[in-house]
Structure 1
Amino acid sequence: MLGRVESDLSIAGRIIENKTGVDLQFLNGGRMNAYGLGGSLMLDYEDHKPEREYDAELRYTNIAINTFDSSTAVQGSADSQSLGLWARARYPTPLTVLERPLRAVFEGWRIPSFLASSAGLLGSIRFPL
């Protein structure tokens, strides 16, 4: 992973700084360059038969992220880890559409759980289901 973020919101930065007292040096011409190396491991289960199909995936992702040549306010590192689960069941119905059997599909998933230094990033954000 390689990324670059730049900002030039000096007016907005001064307003926020005056109201909150927080130093937002990054907003005035700041930049952040970051690189990361990692990968994912996925366990996949598939059971496909004419009378039904089952699929399930469990995925673990780990990416170590570091900044380089960046503004002082945004220098650092993070260990981004997540764990997610997805499953699907498909059953044929007696109906035919476009000369193919119509299937009933049931899916479920678990929004990824963030681990390590990513654990508290989303705070109290609630995702609609």
Structure 2
Amino acid sequence: MFTDGLTSGQLLLSEGGPAVVVAVFSGSFDFSDAERVEDVLRAALREWRPRRLRLDLAAVEFCDCAALRALIRVAADGPRTGCEVAISRASPLVAWLVSLFELGLLFGYPPGEDAAGPAPGASELNG
């Protein structure tokens, strides 16, 4: 288990099963934390060599574009290290950011949703 107290948020890394690392974020994450978040997650990929990195973002209260970009970079590099990086849980704010920037496919969020299917709550227009 690894805990890192960042400027205004908390990041806890732990094993979530065979070849799975879970990163639990809580609090706020912004430009002052972005580089450290990216470094910690990359170090976990190098040292633990998981097949899956699960991001639990359910307790994130704030996330700016710099912090989101750090997560995007780690997720984009995942396939090169043989690791799937996915969001397992998200706060309403994080879910909104994933939707706003169309990052669902990159992060496999929401879990289990068919990429070709409609978004939750979507309705057909009657013409």
**Fold-level match, TM-score > 0.5?**
no
Normalization by structure 1: what TM-score?
A: 0.28
By percentage of residues, which structure has more strand? 1
Normalization by structure 2: what TM-score?
A: 0.28
| Higher radius of gyration, 1 or 2 | 1
By percentage of residues, which structure has more helix? 2
